């Protein structure tokens, strides 16, 4: 039986735990396509996810039973399609709110929705929206957090975990419940129309905001400064050539080894 002490109104109250699955996002997408509707806030949690995905078709590396890999079903029908990034901001902030409890001001959001502690990645989010005509029908929120894993493949750089930083083991179900409660709070904030408050909080927690750093785009390395995020979610970067906006696949943060 799951521990509901940290849960709120609806996110996480219906939780399905799977021993092994290719991807919790894929499992949940298939489930919502069937005739019997799942309640909003349903969570699919996997002990082992052998084909987890990140942004841009990246693979999510996770040792079985050591990390959080789960997906949440939301139905943001109130949100216009052109404002999809607002949901991204809300969920990214929700995860960061929990990470700040444990890591304080070292917790950041790396655009668009990676979770960083200092200069290292501790988690990521993959949001897959299901449209019905011109309306957002469902959003599948995939969340992966490195928790009790302290050994990662050598080719995976700039990665960390709760265990690596804090040198102790954490209860995965408790952390999942904390994140579910936080996602619900930020989602309800979005539903209440408090978009500008979300945007301010997102920028306040954005990795490298207003700091000079190296980026790679158009097959070259440039120095630039993140100045903000466009309403559509594009990264605004100021370089010697002026301020330009970039989509996810158009720019790369230079890795700090």
Q: What digits encode the pLDDT tens for the residues 117-175?
A: 999 999 999 999 999 888 899 999 999 999 999 999 888 889 999 999 999 999 999 99
- The ranges assigned to domains in the chain are 15-204, 212-253
pTM of the model: 0.92
User: Is the model's pLDDT at 106 over the cut of 50?
Assistant: yes
Mean pLDDT of all residues in 230-253: 94
Mean pLDDT of all residues in 57-71: 78
User: Is the model's pLDDT at 60 over the cut of 80?
Assistant: no
Q: Which CATH superfamily is domain 15-204 in?
A: Bira Bifunctional Protein; Domain 2 (3.30.930.10)
Q: Please state, for a pLDDT cut of 90, what percent of the chain lies above it.
A: 79
Instruction: Kindly indicate the confidence band of residue 2, based on its pLDDT and cuts at 50, 70 and 90.
Output: very low
pLDDT-wise least confident of 54-58, 136-140, 181-185, 200-204: 54-58
SS3 state of residue 187: helix
* Mean pLDDT estimate for the chain: 91
Task: Between 102 and 20, name the one with better pLDDT.
Answer: 102
Instruction: For tokens 């040198």, name the residue.
Output: 167
| CB atoms inside a 10 Å sphere around CB 239 | 13
| CB atoms inside a 10 Å sphere around CB 232 | 11
- Domain at 212-253, CATH class: mainly beta
pLDDT score recorded for residue 49: 81
């Amino acid at each position: 039986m799951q521990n509901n002490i940290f849960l709120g109104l609806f996110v996480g109250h219906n939780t399905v735990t799977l021993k092994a699955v290719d991807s919790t996002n894929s499992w949940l997408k298939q489930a919502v396509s069937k005739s019997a509707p799942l309640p909003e806030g349903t969570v699919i949690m996997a002990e082992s996810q052998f084909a987890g995905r990140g942004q841009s078709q990246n693979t999510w590396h996770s040792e079985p039973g050591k990390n959080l890999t789960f997906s949440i079903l939301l139905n943001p029908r109130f949100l216009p399609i052109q404002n999809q990034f607002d949901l991204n901001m809300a969920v990214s902030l929700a995860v960061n709110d929990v990470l700040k409890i444990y890591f304080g001001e070292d917790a950041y959001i790396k655009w668009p929705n990676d979770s960083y502690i200092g200069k290292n990645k501790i988690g990521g989010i993959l949001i897959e929206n299901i449209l019905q005509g011109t309306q957002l029908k469902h959003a599948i929120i995939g969340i992966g957090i490195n928790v009790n894993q302290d050994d990662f493949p050598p080719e995976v750089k700039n990665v960390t975990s709760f265990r690596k930083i804090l040198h102790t083991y954490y209860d995965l179900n408790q952390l999942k419940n904390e994140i579910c409660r936080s996602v619900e709070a930020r989602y309800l904030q979005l539903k209440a129309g408090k978009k500008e408050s979300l945007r301010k909080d997102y920028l306040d927690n954005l990795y490298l905001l207003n700091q000079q750093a190296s980026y790679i785009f158009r097959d070259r390395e440039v120095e630039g400064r993140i100045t903000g995020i466009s309403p559509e979610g594009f990264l605004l970067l100021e370089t010697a050539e002026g301020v330009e906006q970039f989509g996810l696949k158009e720019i790369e943060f230079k890795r700090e080894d």
